[in-house]
Amino acid sequence: MPKKSRCSPKGKDSEHNRFEKGQTSQPVRNGANSTRGSVYRLKKGDASPSKKWRYQHPHLFAQWKRRTNHRRWIYRYVSEEPERTIFLTLGFCRYVTLDHAKGVSSRVIRWLRGKVVESWMRVVERSGNRPHLHFLLRLRGGLDAATGLERIDVEIRERKASQLIGDWCAEPVADPWLISCYLVKTLWPENWHSRVPGRVITYSQNVKRSPWWVAQQAESLNSSVTFRGGERQ
């Protein structure tokens, strides 16, 4: 005798237990019409089209949250002091492994930390199976952009031969929004096949990072605060 569903005496394949997108009922767990692993949205509601879920699968939605968080953190980091933020890109003169590239990225931070920069963020990417490195470097308070670029050039030039560093480019950040979009391109689904495994975007401990829901709560609280006579109400 076939086993019946707990939800209905008519069985698990009855119309009573079928789930369609846009309905708030229990999803079908088995069978050809299974809806396991999907994120559903309601057909009716007062939400604007821009606020509806864009990605239907939980994995894609998780990627979107991760990419959005990193983009917001980078944008906020650069926007605080763009005139003291340097964008540095390092390539290698020949093929190197990912472990070597990650080791060089840690050494570059060690060369510059304290003497030249006070905070940083780092991205490890690869193109055509050849890794390369991106950095955003916040210069120390007493350094201007020209002096900081000179010191960065000296530190890298002295050690590039031993670390197999090829070309490099360092310049002040021109547009915080464009650089934030550029540095998260490896997290887009279409670039996932060439993505470096592991943590590809890392930050120094003094870089402010908060999840998107915390940022939204802070913005809503700030918008609800009013000032009267110079005092917060």
Domains of the chain: 58-197 (3.30.70.100)
pLDDT tens digit sequence for 130-162: 899 999 999 998 889 999 999 999 999 999 999
Q: pLDDT at position 72, please?
A: 92
pLDDT tens digit sequence for 57-81: 777 788 888 888 999 999 999 999 9
Digits of tens for pLDDT over the chain (233 positions)? 555 444 444 444 444 444 344 444 444 344 444 444 444 343 333 344 444 455 567 777 888 888 889 999 999 999 999 999 999 999 999 999 999 999 999 999 999 998 899 999 999 998 878 899 999 999 998 889 999 999 999 999 999 999 999 999 999 998 999 999 999 998 888 887 777 887 889 999 888 887 666 655 655 655 554 444 444 43
CA separation for the pair 156, 108 (Å, rounded) = 8
Q: pLDDT at position 102, please?
A: 92
Q: pLDDT at position 177, please?
A: 94
- pTM value is 0.67
Q: pLDDT at position 87, please?
A: 96
Q: pLDDT at position 208, please?
A: 82
Q: pLDDT at position 92, please?
A: 94
Burial class (CB in 10 A: 0-12, 13-18, 19+), 73: buried
Q: pLDDT at position 206, please?
A: 85
Beta bridge partners, 203, equal 121
> Which candidate, 229, 231, 227, 204, places its Cα nearest to that of 73?
204
CA separation for the pair 151, 157 (Å, rounded) = 10
The answer to whether 30 and 12 have CB atoms below 8 angstroms apart is yes
